[in-house]
């Protein structure tokens, strides 16, 4: 109690002296006061200092006494002596016990919280890595932006399609990364929209490093990491998925063209057959010669119709694996000569010369004769169609005994195929636009040839062409 009063008086004297020195040192004192204000403040401060030193001495003495008491108690405990503890020692022991219990509990709680936070961090990190792995594995372009239109995640497909460096886009504004202002505007509009759970799907053309492509853009809002008030003011983040649908559109257009062409091809022979049959019924062909001409026209148109239907069915059967294949050792040279005999009348009608360079017939390949004949005939028919009058077609068969291969080449002096169309000439429904005026077709002849050579006979087909000079179609098969 005494020590408490000493400390209280010391603090009061220090405060009083400091206040007096700060605010009253320039205030004039009555004449009967023998000391100045500064001296009075200094005396107060000095007295406080002496009082404080006395208090420190008393505290040090009490501390030393407490230390000796604790040591004495420890010594008595070693020798089995029991000394009744003093009131101060009991209080200190109780306080220390309570402090230790409280500290131990706080430490245990802190350790438990730290472990829980560590587990939560590991789970969150694993979930993030899992989400990133999923996004990176998606073939479509994926962009994720936060409520401030900064990019937080993107995959390789997005970097490749949209032309940016994946390593330097994180936390950068979407407007600085995308070169397409319309796409940037769509992302911002989606973020600012009222619908937080909605989805928007649009078709949007984008110029990429691979040329002009058409994308199906899917925009979805996602909840951000900000609180509700901020989310209400700035909006949510946006996930943008870009699916390249260029090829799908091309295929859809080709299918539409195919239906249109097939309809035309079917309608033309049917119309001719119907017209000549009606004339025969009406008796317009009185003499035998006219009737024979009508019958020949009907037969030719029927054959044309049959070939078209056969092409469609054959491709379907080969692709589905339902076609029956009868492979036997065959002379490719014999098959080529048979096809030349059939195509010669069409070539003579356009005054096209057919030149043969065929190897001996004893070289054979394992083949389905009917299917291989159809492939050769289709290639020759194409050459006749796209070769102007007075041109020429050269048919060659070359044998490489070392490699055990036989090569067939059909070259013409026709209009040729533009370089941009060469990779697609064997695709179903594909037709070279520049040559459409020369012949009608459905785009099924060359795909059928490719199926017969590569899928049925495990061979190799190729094409070479120069616009204005001609085209070479060829295929290679194994010898037996």
CA nearest to 206, candidates 180, 177, 242 = 180
* DSSP string across 63-75: HHHHHHHHHHHHH
* Cβ–Cβ under 8 Å, residues 10 and 55: yes
Residue 224 tokens read as 């951000």
* Integer CA distances (angstroms), 120 to 78, 134, 165, 391, in order: 50, 21, 32, 79
* DSSP string across 212-277: EEEEEEEEEEE--SS-HHHHHHH--EEEEEEEE-HHHHHHHHHHHHHHHHHHHHHHHHHHHHHHHH
Furthest-apart CA atoms within the chain: distance in Å: 165
Sheet holding 470-478, edge to edge: 353-357, 392-400, 405-412, 470-478, 460-466
- Torsion sign across C-alpha atoms 289, 291, 293, 299: negative
* Cβ–Cβ under 8 Å, residues 311 and 258: no
Q: Tens-of-pLDDT digits for all 480 residues of the chain?
A: 444 445 455 555 554 555 444 444 444 444 444 444 444 445 545 455 445 445 544 544 554 455 555 555 545 544 444 455 556 556 665 665 666 677 777 778 888 888 888 888 888 888 777 777 777 778 888 988 988 889 888 888 888 888 888 888 888 898 888 888 899 899 888 888 755 557 889 998 888 777 788 899 999 887 654 444 444 444 578 999 999 888 888 878 877 776 776 777 677 788 888 988 988 888 887 888 888 888 888 888 888 788 778 777 777 777 677 677 888 888 888 888 888 888 888 888 889 899 988 877 778 889 888 889 889 988 998 898 888 889 999 998 888 888 899 899 999 998 888 888 888 888 877 778 777 777 766 677 888 889 889 888 889 999 999 888 899 999 999 988
Residue 142: count of CB within 10 angstroms of its CB: 20
pTM recorded for the entire structure: 0.44
| Contact residues for 460 (Cβ-Cβ < 8 A; gap 6+) | 453, 454, 475, 476
Alpha carbon 129 to chain centroid distance? 17
């Amino acid at each position: 109690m005494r020590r408490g009063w000493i400390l209280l008086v010391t603090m009061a004297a220090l405060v009083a002296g400091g206040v007096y020195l700060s605010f009253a040192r320039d205030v004039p004192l009555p004449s009967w006061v023998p000391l100045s204000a500064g001296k009075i403040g200094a005396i107060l401060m000095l007295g406080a200092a002496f009082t404080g030193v006395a208090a420190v001495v008393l505290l040090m003495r009490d501390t030393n006494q407490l230390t000796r008491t604790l040591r004495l108690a420890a010594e008595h405990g070693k020798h089995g002596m029991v000394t009744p503890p003093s009131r101060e020692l009991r209080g200190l022991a109780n306080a220390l016990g309570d402090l230790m219990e409280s500290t131990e509990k706080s430490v245990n709680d802190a350790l438990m919280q730290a472990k829980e936070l560590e587990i939560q961090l590991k789970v969150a990190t694993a979930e993030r890595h899992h989400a990133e792995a999923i996004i990176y594995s998606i073939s479509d372009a994926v962009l994720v932006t936060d409520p401030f239109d900064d990019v937080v995640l993107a995959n390789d497909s997005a970097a490749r399609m949209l032309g940016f460096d994946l390593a330097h886009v994180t936390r950068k504004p979407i407007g600085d990364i995308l070169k397409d202002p319309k796409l940037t505007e769509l992302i911002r509009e989606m973020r600012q929209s009222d619908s937080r759970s909605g989805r928007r799907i649009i078709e949007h053309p984008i110029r990429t490093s691979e040329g002009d492509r058409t994308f199906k853009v899917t925009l979805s809002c996602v909840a951000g990491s900000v609180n509700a008030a901020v989310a209400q003011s700035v909006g949510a983040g946006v996930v943008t998925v870009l699916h390249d649908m260029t090829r799908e559109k091309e295929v859809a257009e080709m299918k539409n063209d195919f239906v249109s062409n097939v309809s035309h091809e079917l309608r033309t022979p049917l119309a001719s057959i119907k017209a000549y049959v009606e004339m025969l019924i009406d008796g317009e062909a009185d003499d035998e010669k006219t009737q024979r001409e009508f019958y020949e026209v009907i037969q030719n148109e029927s054959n044309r119709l049959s070939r078209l239907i056969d092409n469609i069915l054959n491709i379907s059967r080969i692709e589905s694996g339902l076609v029956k294949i009868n492979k036997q050792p065959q002379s490719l040279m014999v098959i080529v000569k048979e096809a030349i005999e059939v195509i010669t009348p069409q070539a003579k009608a356009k005054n096209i010369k057919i030149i043969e360079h065929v190897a001996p017939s004893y070289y054979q390949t394992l083949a389905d004769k009917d299917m291989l004949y159809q492939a050769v005939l289709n290639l020759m028919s194409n050459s006749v169609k796209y070769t102007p009058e007075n041109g020429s077609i050269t048919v060659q068969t070359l044998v490489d005994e070392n490699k055990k291969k036989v090569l067939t080449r059909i070259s013409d002096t026709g209009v040729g195929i533009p370089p941009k169309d060469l990779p697609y000439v064997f695709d179903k429904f594909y037709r070279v636009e520049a040559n459409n005026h020369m012949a009608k077709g459905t785009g099924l002849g060359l795909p059928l040839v490719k199926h017969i050579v590569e899928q049925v006979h495990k061979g190799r087909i190729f094409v070479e062409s120069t616009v204005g000079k001609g085209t070479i179609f060829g295929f290679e098969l194994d010898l037996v």
